Structure 1
Amino acid sequence: MAAFNHTQSEPSTFILMGIPGFEDAHLWISIPFSMIYVISLLGNVTVLFVVGKEQTLHKPMYLLLCMLALTDIGTSTSVVPKALGIFWFNLKGITVGGCLTQMFFLHAASVMHSAILVFMALDRYVAICYPLNYTTILSNARIAKLGLAGLVRAVLFILPMPLLLRRQPFCANSVITHTYCDHMAVAKVSCGDITVSRTYGLVVVCVVIGLDLILIALSYGLIIRAVLRISSKKAHQKALNTCTAHVCVILTSHTPSLFSSLTHRFGEGIAPHVHIILANLYFLLPPMLNPIIYGVKTKELRDKVCKYACRK
């Protein structure tokens, strides 16, 4: 009988509160949310369209850029539509299954995004250190295999998160003080022991983000060593300029992600709205900025985009 009563008390839906303390300003907050989302969609769809149409852009670097655009669309679309539903229509309810599904897709897309940044660092390393063998080392087929490996890794790492939480008991009237179903935000509304879920989430952050950043740093260490061996200063600048866009994307992607993950676990004294704003920045800013950064810094892509824009 006790078990039956406990099951009855478990909620069929969660309540997403949006940004606590700013409920009266939700409508105003929705304006930058929606504008950034529309700009990110336009930018990433433009990249996919132009690279798809132009045979000259069917190269490893641009295939990786398309993968980045797809993950950016996936991460922002996992979060923003539901957030706008909260801001505009006060649609705060979300089913437990829907919440865990959202969690899986947004975190899997984030892990995939991190893997693509590693592949881009590898691409720059091969292009600068082994320019004559670039096409044989990094063929389009090999890039596709790397993308598949990154996708499998994302699924294998993230799938245990919703599965572990699915087994947790949730008390009635479970309120999540967030705009979306973040892993730790959902874990904190459980009535049971979340030690395993908390530990696994921290391990994923340390292994995925930590390992990926180490691999990126190693790639750039080798790139710098190779560049310093070149006698011409002009060649130095040209080689390093090819890495500028990638470095900017790493900074815009990993900085808010690390702050969000660490403040959720260790920032007990930080106000809840600060947690939520930092977390949303990760899903809002990189998808908008990445196509702009690559469009500005990559002349070949910029010229092709301008060609289609002028034609219109």
Structure 2
Amino acid sequence: MRWQDGDRGGNIEDRRGLGPVAAGGVGIGGLVLAAIGYFVFGVDPSTTLNAVQQQAGQEMSQDGFHAGARGTPQDLDAQFVDVIEQSTTEVWSQEFQARGRIYQRPAAVVLYDQSTGTGCGLGQTAMGPFYCPADEKVYLDLSFWQELSGRFGAGGEAARAYVIAHEIGHHVQKLTGQTQRAERLGAQGAASGSVRLELQADCYAGVWAAHAAEISGGKVSLDAKDIADGLRAASAVGDDTLQQETQGRVAPDTFTHGTSQQRMRWFEAGAESGDPAQCDTFKAARL
């Protein structure tokens, strides 16, 4: 994948090395993150909630929040995140403009170690990358790259770019009202609002991949092998694959993200068409 000459947007909040950042207690956000940890990565919900409660107790004695440095980090892994976030901003700005709208980029991509406070509760490494609609930030512990490669067998920069573009896709969904649309359909099940939302974000990641080279003047580009790496990453985090690995069985009534085949199909739909209109999973009769 080509990205080293790509533009850097400086929309990174670097909290690495700061320790936990104030999270605002347990509440609904903590429950949401516990669900993310369980359904996506097989983390016991009690582990997440205990961490949230402990953090909430610590916050009672804190005078304020720890804020990460804003801008462009100097290390290569963080620069990669910066370039991909900027590339997604350029792509979605054009897509919104073509539809008579203005794209507002996420408030930040937050890099952190182990745990950090979010507008949705305490975020933890075990949850993997996620988007918090309450504060419009993407959260990422870079150690996930090793898990993506080692545990899920989806190494390479294109697989990492897919992950970032998918989370940015959730931001696009908030801006366009798709997040609220999903909430009305329920959170679990093979055809739930959650599954439709996640598959749409996969498709949006494909839309970014389709336009990245053209809009960046070739400074950020993916070839056929890179697209295959993105498909491999999408497949690796399907509900059926993860449930089989962590539970030894597949339970479609608890799906939150879609099967491996579905995630690959929708990413490919976005990559082949380059058209967000082809990503309406909420109207699709077949997921």
**Larger CA Rg, structure 1 vs 2:** 1
Higher relative contact order (CA 8 A, sep 6+): 1
TM-score range, shorter chain: under 0.3
Q: Which has the higher strand share?
A: 2
Q: Which has the higher helix share?
A: 1
If the length of structure 2 is used for normalisation, what is the TM-score? 0.25
If the length of structure 1 is used for normalisation, what is the TM-score? 0.23
